[in-house]
């Protein structure tokens, strides 16, 4: 706190010392390119210097998705009983369409606002607190889940000498250090870090190929059971793809203001689609090794995806073990969006949250991820499927509300008063979004299928099919369109 001078022309010594210390701290942080800002809108003038390039939108997502968690998601198709070709078709088709959503929201970063803050224009200033809370839960959960995916590989390559909980801490610590540095360092690292990860997956595909098979993993009792498994795997892939919706805009706020939106869209789409399809397909192929490969099934039961990767890379000897370590560390760039955006989500709680330094909030996100990750590791397989589904329902609500507001009520970016982002009096309250949020989760409850619950609609198809996303979207879209029209008519906002 500054000392108040009794003479307007003679500031006290304490004030001078404080300002000098603050300037010194700011100068060395600028020298190291450490990010100091928060969710404040990056203005057009500020984006004339220290800008990022549109291809950073591609390399950032290449690094984030060329990851062990992506591999693990592809493995889930086989664990549901699907053959390689069934899994591959689902992976290709679902990614082809679902990856359009985070690519579309990524372009909102050109407003200079992060995605959780931009959502205030559709959810309202107060209704947006739902976005804040669920986005923080989602990023913490993903941080934990992705860390476990890497930790089980470290456990496998060390023959159990590195416990899963220790691997979670190692990965979360690396993510935390990078996120402390901020967006400039993140873009520099992600411009190259995807390359060694691509090498890992290419070698694993080559050395493990002789054990891959297109034979049926499981004989389904009925066609309905087969259809249910396909629908449930579609839900898993869809949830993985759209998980980036809540933060995709955050990494483009320093793009030059005249950057065409189609460039951001295209770069982001390629950055998500290409690694997702390649690595998830490899995961589906690795699971088929449990059918024909000697020792593959016990390895999978013992160490999950880590066991499968170990069996695939075994012919490479010591080099294969080195590649396994790299594969485990792919969880680091995969988790950077989660830990970094956690702090930005938290600053949307209100003016008081803006005063908390980003570094402190990043640290809180790191601590939360370590605690959740160490606990969730015990029941990882069921945790992964359940988490992917539940968070997917919330993300469907988020993107549905933002999309309808933009397309039907705002029509274009010109329809937004971008200077009103922190003024409750110039933003909607959010009654329409709150109502549609509740309606969306009713749809999710009717159609969800997770390890511990099968909704009444989901149970209609075979042994249970995850139809929660479709019902969530349908109910949320109808309710928000009607309620938002009424809200605008009554309040004028």
3-state DSSP assignment of residue 453: strand
Q: Which residue has the higher pLDDT, 402 or 220?
A: 402
Mean pLDDT value across residues 36-40 = 79
Which residues are CB-contacts of 456 (< 8 A; sequence separation ≥ 6)?
446
pLDDT more than 70, % of the chain: 89
Flag the least confident range among 43-52, 118-127, 204-213: 43-52
pLDDT beyond 70 at 192: yes
Q: Residue 360 is encoded by which pair of tokens?
A: 């402190």
Tally: H helices and E strands in the chain? 22, 2
Mean pLDDT value across residues 438-447 = 90
Q: What is the pLDDT of residues 313-352, one digit of tens each?
A: 999 989 999 999 999 999 999 999 999 999 999 999 988 9
pLDDT beyond 90 at 90: yes
Taking the C-alpha atoms of residue 473 and residue 455, their distance in angstroms, rounded to an integer, is: 16
Q: Across all residues in the chain, what is the average pLDDT?
A: 86
Taking the C-alpha atoms of residue 125 and residue 274, their distance in angstroms, rounded to an integer, is: 36
Phi, then psi, of 293 in degrees rounded to 5 = -85, 135
Taking the C-alpha atoms of residue 292 and residue 305, their distance in angstroms, rounded to an integer, is: 17
pTM (2 d.p.)? 0.88
For residue 356, give the nearest of 338, 342, 368 by alpha carbon: 342
pLDDT of amino acid 386: 65
Mean pLDDT value across residues 23-39 = 58
Flag the least confident range among 15-29, 88-102, 304-318: 15-29
Mean pLDDT value across residues 428-457 = 87
Task: Tell me the pLDDT band of 168, cut-offs 50, 70 and 90.
Answer: very high
pLDDT beyond 70 at 22: no
pLDDT of amino acid 457: 86
pLDDT of amino acid 198: 95
For residue 142, give the nearest of 164, 114, 171 by alpha carbon: 171
CA torsion through residues 372, 373, 376, 382, sign: positive
Q: Residue 70 is encoded by which pair of tokens?
A: 């992506």
Q: What is the pLDDT of residues 250-292, one digit of tens each?
A: 999 888 888 899 999 999 999 999 999 999 999 999 999 998 8
pLDDT beyond 50 at 80: yes
Task: Tell me the pLDDT band of 392, cut-offs 50, 70 and 90.
Answer: confident
Q: Which long-range contacts does 45-51 make (Cβ < 8 Å, 24+ apart)? A: 46/112, 46/254, 47/112, 47/253, 47/254, 47/255, 47/256, 47/257, 48/256, 50/184, 50/254, 51/254, 51/255, 51/256
pLDDT beyond 90 at 18: no
pLDDT beyond 90 at 12: no
Q: What is the pLDDT of residues 103-152, one digit of tens each?
A: 999 999 999 999 999 999 999 999 999 999 999 988 888 888 889 889 98
pLDDT of amino acid 380: 59
pLDDT of amino acid 257: 83
pLDDT of amino acid 34: 67
Task: Tell me the pLDDT band of 19, cut-offs 50, 70 and 90.
Answer: very low
Q: Residue 178 is encoded by which pair of tokens?
A: 């990078």
SS3 of 373-414: the string is HHHHHHHHHHHHHHHHHHHHHHHHHHHHHHHHHHHHHHCCHH
Contact between 111 and 41 under an 8 Å Cβ cutoff? The reply is yes
Taking the C-alpha atoms of residue 374 and residue 167, their distance in angstroms, rounded to an integer, is: 9
SS3 of 85-145: the string is HHHHHHHHHHHHHHCHHHHHHHHHHHHCCCHHHHCHHHHCCCCHHHHHHHHHHHHHHHHHH
Task: Tell me the pLDDT band of 201, cut-offs 50, 70 and 90.
Answer: very high
Q: Residue 209 is encoded by which pair of tokens?
A: 């190929």
CATH of domain 41-378: 1.10.4160.10
Which residues are CB-contacts of 328 (< 8 A; sequence separation ≥ 6)?
68, 150, 151, 153, 154, 157, 167, 171, 306
User: Residue 152, Cα to own-chain centre: how many angstroms?
Assistant: 20
CA distances to 19, 153, 330, 478 from 199, rounded to whole Å, are: 50, 17, 12, 46
Task: Tell me the pLDDT band of 27, cut-offs 50, 70 and 90.
Answer: low
Q: Which long-range contacts does 404-411 make (Cβ < 8 Å, 24+ apart)? A: 404/122, 404/477, 404/480, 404/481, 404/484, 405/121, 405/122, 405/480, 405/484, 406/122, 408/481, 409/484, 409/488, 410/121
Q: Which residue has the higher pLDDT, 370 or 16?
A: 370
Q: For the chain, what are the domain ranges?
A: 41-378
pLDDT of amino acid 24: 46
Taking the C-alpha atoms of residue 344 and residue 38, their distance in angstroms, rounded to an integer, is: 7
Q: Residue 322 is encoded by which pair of tokens?
A: 């080195």
Taking the C-alpha atoms of residue 145 and residue 381, their distance in angstroms, rounded to an integer, is: 10
DSSP 38: -
3-state DSSP assignment of residue 345: helix
Q: Residue 26 is encoded by which pair of tokens?
A: 């700011």
Contact between 272 and 100 under an 8 Å Cβ cutoff? The reply is no
pLDDT beyond 60 at 83: yes
pLDDT beyond 90 at 28: no
């Amino acid at each position: 706190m500054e000392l108040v001078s009794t003479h307007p022309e003679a500031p006290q010594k304490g004030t001078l010392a404080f300002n000098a210390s603050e300037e010194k701290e700011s100068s060395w942080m600028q020298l190291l390119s450490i990010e100091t800002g928060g969710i404040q809108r990056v203005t057009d003038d500020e984006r004339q210097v220290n800008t990022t390039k549109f291809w950073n939108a591609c390399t950032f997502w290449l690094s984030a998705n060329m990851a062990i968690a992506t591999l693990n998601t592809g493995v889930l198709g086989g664990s549901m009983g699907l053959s390689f070709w069934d899994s591959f078709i689902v992976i290709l088709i679902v990614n082809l369409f679902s990856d359009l959503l985070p690519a579309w929201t990524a372009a909102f970063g050109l407003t200079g606002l992060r995605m959780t803050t931009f959502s205030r224009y559709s959810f309202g200033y107060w209704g947006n607190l739902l976005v804040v809370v669920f986005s923080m839960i989602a990023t913490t959960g993903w941080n934990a889940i992705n860390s476990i995916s890497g930790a089980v590989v470290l456990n496998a390559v060390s023959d159990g000498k590195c416990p899963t909980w220790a691997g979670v801490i190692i990965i979360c610590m690396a993510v935390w250090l990078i996120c402390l540095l901020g967006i400039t360092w993140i873009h520099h690292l992600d411009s190259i870090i995807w390359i060694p990860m691509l090498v890992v997956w290419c070698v694993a595909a080559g050395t493990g190929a002789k054990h891959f098979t297109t034979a049926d993993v499981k004989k389904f009792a009925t066609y309905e059971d087969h259809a249910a498994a396909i629908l449930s795997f579609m839900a898993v892939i869809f949830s993985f793809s759209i998980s980036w919706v809540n933060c995709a805009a955050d990494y483009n706020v320093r793009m030059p203001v005249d950057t065409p939106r189609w460039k951001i869209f295209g770069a982001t789409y390629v950055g998500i689609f290409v690694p997702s399809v390649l690595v998830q397909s490899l995961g589906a192929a690795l699971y088929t090794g449990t059918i024909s490969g000697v020792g593959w099934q016990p390895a999978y039961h013992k160490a999950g995806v880590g066991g499968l990767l170990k069996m695939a890379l075994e012919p490479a000897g010591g080099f294969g073990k080195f590649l396994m370590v790299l594969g485990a560390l792919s969880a680091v760039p995969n988790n950077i969006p989660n830990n970094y955006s956690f702090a930005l989500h938290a600053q949307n709680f209100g003016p008081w949250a803006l005063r908390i330094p980003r570094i402190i909030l990043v640290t809180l996100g790191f601590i939360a991820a370590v605690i959740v990750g160490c606990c969730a590791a015990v029941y990882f397989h069921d945790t992964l499927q359940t988490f992917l589904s539940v968070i997917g329902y919330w993300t469907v609500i988020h993107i549905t509300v933002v999309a309808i507001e933009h397309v039907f009520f705002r029509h274009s970016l010109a329809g937004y008063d971008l200077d009103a982002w922190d003024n409750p009096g110039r933003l909607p309250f959010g009654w329409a979004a709150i109502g549609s949020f509740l309606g969306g989760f009713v749809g999710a409850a009717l159609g969800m299928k997770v390890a511990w619950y099968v909704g009444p609609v989901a149970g209609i198809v075979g042994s249970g099919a995850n139809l929660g996303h479709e019902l969530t979207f349908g109910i949320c879209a109808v309710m928000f369109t009607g309620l938002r029209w009424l809200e605008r008519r009554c309040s004028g906002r």
